[in-house]
């Protein structure tokens, strides 16, 4: 299987660091057809279910849905994998998603097409530096985004996704708690602004969303005043200020269903466009501008680590059944607590919103 190696610069506490992503070549149409047939069989033979993120290749998304699996954001991926009866979960996404699946379902075999698929937020928040940050601020409740390692989650009081970050922090703020937030500074900034919480943030960023450009987006809005702008909150504040809607991938998918609006400019990874166009075939979706034509990999609005997931490496891992995702046993129980706290909170919040329970309990 041939592949293209991409160099990626990302921010960490020391400044800029470099990582790599190995992106597989597209298979021929004939090979693709053979692989899809074989993968369907292999999933059945292994009693496996495929859970894919919205940002991975459309073939993987379609295969997941066509075989009883799921395409979703990281919150729904975690919830679905935990509840599903399959003995093997195959996670098409990036490393922290496979780790989260293992933390929540330690009895299951967790496989990933590419275990070296990273995330700049995870890489940019090493656990030793993060522990020192927490030690320096013992009076704060530690809330970390799901895009972090098991070791960072194990230090957290709460794990959140972009789908529930505002609700969780608002809840904590109402209890009088001060927040230590990590790792995405733009999402932290947005959450603080939405909730009024006293929030001290780590300074990481997503290499994809950090590239959206406000001036170019404002120009595009002027040219297309009928379009509505949907933005993921990992984007810079100036981009969020131009949005008609700010929310998670799931939220963006729902917002695109707004009646009477036919055109949307969307600021999130362009892997999302597959599900948007499938769900709303009569609507038009346009990519929000990034750095534009001189374009490095960072400015193509597609995560190179998500792009590491392909049909060939999915086949290889399913065929071999190994290597599994593993977690340091000393971390599993501690890392599970803040994730389960999030899952319990979102379940209770949904019931409360539906008017079925009077209030949320404390963490």
Give me the residues that bind ligand SF4 (CB under 6 A), please. Answer: 55, 94, 119-121, 147, 206-208, 269, 303, 305-306
Comparing C-alpha atoms, which of 295, 234, 152, 205 is closest to residue 17?
A: 205
Query: Nearer to ligand SF4 by C-beta: 53 or 108?
Result: 53
Q: What is the DSSP letter of 268?
A: S
Write the DSSP string, 154-195.
TT-SEEE-TTTHHHHHHHHHHTT--EEEESBHHHHHHHHHHH
- Shortest Å distance, C-beta 243 to ligand SF4: 18
Query: Nearer to ligand SF4 by C-beta: 52 or 208?
Result: 208
Query: Nearer to ligand SF4 by C-beta: 55 or 345?
Result: 55
- Shortest Å distance, C-beta 55 to ligand SF4: 6
- Shortest Å distance, C-beta 120 to ligand SF4: 4
- Shortest Å distance, C-beta 146 to ligand SF4: 10
Query: Nearer to ligand SF4 by C-beta: 94 or 311?
Result: 94
- Shortest Å distance, C-beta 223 to ligand SF4: 27
- Shortest Å distance, C-beta 180 to ligand SF4: 20
Q: Is 94 buried (19+), middle (13-18) or exposed (0-12) by CB count in 10 A?
A: buried
Q: Residue 29: in which H helix or E strand, if any?
A: helix 29-45
- Shortest Å distance, C-beta 289 to ligand SF4: 17
Question: Other C-beta atoms within 10 Å of 322: how many?
Answer: 8
Contact 74, 161 (CB under 8 A): yes
Strands (E) in the chain, as ranges, are 3-12, 15-24, 48-53, 70-72, 88-92, 109-111, 141-145, 158-160, 179-182, 199-201, 228-231, 245-246, 263-267, 284-287
How many Cα atoms are found within 13 Å in the side-chain-facing hemisphere of 47?
7
Query: Nearer to ligand SF4 by C-beta: 78 or 206?
Result: 206
Query: Nearer to ligand SF4 by C-beta: 55 or 133?
Result: 55
Query: Nearer to ligand SF4 by C-beta: 230 or 306?
Result: 306
Comparing C-alpha atoms, which of 146, 96, 90, 89 is closest to residue 116?
A: 96
């Amino acid at each position: 299987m041939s592949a293209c190696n991409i160099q990626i610069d990302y921010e960490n506490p020391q400044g800029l660091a470099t990582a790599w992503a190995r992106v597989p070549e597209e298979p021929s149409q004939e090979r693709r057809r053979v692989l899809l047939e074989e993968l369907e069989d292999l999933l059945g033979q292994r009693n496996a279910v495929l859970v894919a993120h919205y940002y991975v290749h459309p073939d993987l998304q379609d295969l997941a849905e066509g075989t009883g699996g799921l395409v979703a954001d990281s919150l729904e991926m975690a919830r679905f994998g935990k509840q599903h009866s399959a003995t093997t979960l195959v996670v098409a996404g990036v490393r922290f998603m496979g780790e989260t699946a293992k933390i929540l379902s330690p009895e299951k075999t967790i496989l990933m097409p590419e275990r070296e698929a990273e995330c700049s937020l995870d890489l940019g928040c090493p656990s030793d530096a993060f522990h020192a940050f927490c030690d320096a601020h013992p009076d704060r409740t530690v809330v970390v985004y799901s895009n972090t390692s098991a070791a960072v989650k194990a230090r957290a009081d709460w794990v959140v996704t972009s789908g529930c970050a505002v609700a969780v922090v608002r809840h904590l703020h109402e209890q009088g708690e001060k927040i230590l937030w990590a790792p995405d500074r733009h999402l932290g900034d947005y959450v603080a602004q939405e909730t009024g919480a006293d929030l001290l943030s780590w300074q990481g960023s997503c290499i994809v969303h950090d590239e959206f450009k406000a001036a170019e987006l404002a120009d595009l809005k002027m040219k297309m005043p009928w379009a509505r702008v949907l933005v993921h909150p990992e984007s810079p504040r100036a981009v969020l200020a131009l949005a008609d809607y700010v929310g998670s991938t799931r939220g963006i998918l729902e917002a695109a269903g707004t009646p009477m609006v036919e055109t949307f400019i969307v600021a999130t990874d362009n892997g999302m466009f597959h599900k948007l166009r499938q769900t709303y075939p009569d609507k038009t979706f346009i990519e929000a501008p990034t750095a534009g034509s001189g374009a490095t990999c960072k400015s193509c609005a597609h995560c190179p680590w998500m792009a590491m997931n392909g049909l060939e490496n999915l086949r290889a891992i399913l065929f071999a059944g190994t290597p599994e995702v593993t977690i340091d046993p000393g971390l599993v129980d501690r890392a599970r607590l803040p994730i389960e706290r999030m899952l319990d909170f979102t379940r209770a919040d949904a019931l409360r919103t539906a008017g079925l329970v009077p209030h949320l309990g404390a963490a």
